[in-house]
Amino acid sequence: MGRFIYLDYNATTSTDERVVEAMKLYFNKLYGNPSSIYKFAQEAREAVEAARSKLAKILNAKPEEIVFTSGGTEADNFAIKGIAYANKEKGNHIITSKIEHHAVLNTCKWLEKQGFQVTYIGVNKYGIVDLDELRNAITDKTILITIMHANNEIGTIEPIEEIGKILQEINKQRITNNKPRIYFHTDAVQTVGKIPIDVNELGVDLLSLSGHKFYGPKGVGALFIRKRTKINSLLHGGHHERNRRAGTENVPGIVGLGKTCEIAMEEQEKEEKKPKALRDRLEKAIVEKIDDVIINGHPEKRLAGTLNICVKYVEGESMLLNLDLEGIAASSGSACTSGTLEPSHVLLALGIPPEVAHGSLRFSLGRNNTEEDIDHVIEVLPPIVKKLRAMSPFRKGREGGLRWDTQKR
Ligand SMILES: *Cc1c(COP(=O)(O)O)cnc(C)c1O
């Protein structure tokens, strides 16, 4: 294979060699079942508990507040369905945003079919949730608010701490008035390991994370559940995870996730500087070299490695295929929506017209990217866009009706 440039770190990452190394022992040497009582199995138990402590540390939580899951999707399902069913006698209303990951959105849609009511809050043009709309959406029946920490498509970082403070005030009054307290969940799959997280500063009761988004293994994640949170289990069976998640622990995965957190705590700060510099370089060059481009997401409150653009009068999928021929792996939005012709629900929520949203491209940068990678993209993307625009049926519309004013900033 010739050149390969990976620019899809928000979809997944490679597993750090040090993590692979830490996991190895637990496949065929220390393979005991952590629930067994003999000494050999207790080594596996100790490894799981050591990993739990590492997760607690990166979140500033307590070890007993961490439940291991099969990833971010399960953690989101667990948080939302678990709170909904455990608190349904008190209320049936949930608040979320229009730009959540499908693991949250489709869980909420399913709950609607089961009789729950869900309000989907809008965002401004940068993708920041509207706090007034959120405040006004709260009713006596509200039991859960779930808002993501950072968006996987555009990278915008949400004001979770502010929402946490608002809820703290509201919950104080609700408790004295005998109304149900509102639980607060955040999907932090895109932020854990990238920016410092403190569940107490954020004021959240539940937080989802996933190993493979920050150089850990796939198929393992966790849900932080604050003490005294009333939540039901998704999986019933044995007494694993303090009765909250049945099933024999994925010991190698959990050990790997622990190691991933340990590495992130030491290295995340310096780790994020490089992608940011490269991302800014790519953004600047794209704006200079390609006309009719929109940069999506917040200018500052954005993940360091994420660049989402809309190139007018071309299809995102066509650009992706052409980039692939150049050995460049990028995305048109989230991996979960590719393969469908629907424009991204996130870009539509920003107020971008569907025909423009179709021309979206997401570059997400990470630890192995170099200046040469970025320079290669800067070299090949403008001619690809030029070629596709020459063939585009939208082109005729350029002087006519098809217009979307470039956001100046
Ligand atoms: C990737 C992702 C998920 C899903 O996590 P998995 O571990 O792949 O199931 C959920 N939320 C966000 C924001 C993500 O980026």
Q: CATH code for 17-264?
A: 3.40.640.10
pLDDT at 402: 38
> Distances from the Cα of 286 to the Cαs of 303, 352, 373, in angstroms?
18, 19, 14
pLDDT band at 338 (very low <50, low <70, confident <90, very high): low
Residues 5-12+268-399, CATH architecture: Alpha-Beta Complex (3.90)
Q: At how many degrees (to 10) do helices 273-289 and 251-271 cross?
A: 70
**Residue 403 scores a pLDDT above 60:** no
Q: Is-contact 10 190, C-beta < 8 A?
A: yes
359, 356, 291, 365: which is closest to 319 by C-alpha? Answer: 359
Torsional class of 339: left (φ above 0), alpha (ψ -120 to 50), beta (otherwise)? left
Mapping DSSP to helix (H, G, I), strand (E, B) and coil, where does residue 56 land?
Answer: helix
Six-digit token string for 94: 């949930």
pLDDT band at 339 (very low <50, low <70, confident <90, very high): low
Catalytic (active-site) positions: 336
pLDDT at 193: 96
Ligand 1 centroid distance, CA of 204 (Å): 18
Could you read off the pLDDT of 127-148 as tens digits, one per residue? 999 999 999 999 999 999 999 9
Percent of the chain clearing pLDDT 70 (strictly above): 94
Instruction: Report domain extents, the chain.
Output: 5-12+268-399, 17-264
**Residue 325 scores a pLDDT above 50:** yes
pLDDT, mean of residues 236-246: 95
> Distances from the Cα of 45 to the Cαs of 41, 231, 256, in angstroms?
7, 25, 14
Residue from 74, 80, 101 to probe ligand 1 pocket by mutation (most atoms less than 8 Å from CB): 101
Nearest atom in ligand 1 to the alpha carbon of residue 150 is 13
> Distances from the Cα of 66 to the Cαs of 188, 191, 207, 277, in angstroms?
14, 17, 9, 34
Tell me if 222 CB under 6 Å of ligand 1: no
Tell me if 221 CB under 6 Å of ligand 1: yes
pLDDT, mean of residues 272-291: 95
CA dihedral (35, 39, 45, 51) in degrees, to 10, reads -170
pLDDT at 2: 76
Ligand 1 centroid distance, CA of 65 (Å): 20
Q: Is-contact 296 347, C-beta < 8 A?
A: yes
Tell me if 189 CB under 6 Å of ligand 1: yes
Edge-first strand listing for the sheet containing 306-311: 293-296, 306-311, 360-364
Q: Model-level pTM?
A: 0.95
pLDDT, mean of residues 345-364: 96
**Cα–Cα distance between 137 and 95 in angstroms, integer?**
7
Q: Is-contact 361 268, C-beta < 8 A?
A: no
For atom 6 of ligand 1, the residue with the nearest CA is 72
Tell me if 72 CB under 6 Å of ligand 1: yes
Tell me if 103 CB under 6 Å of ligand 1: yes
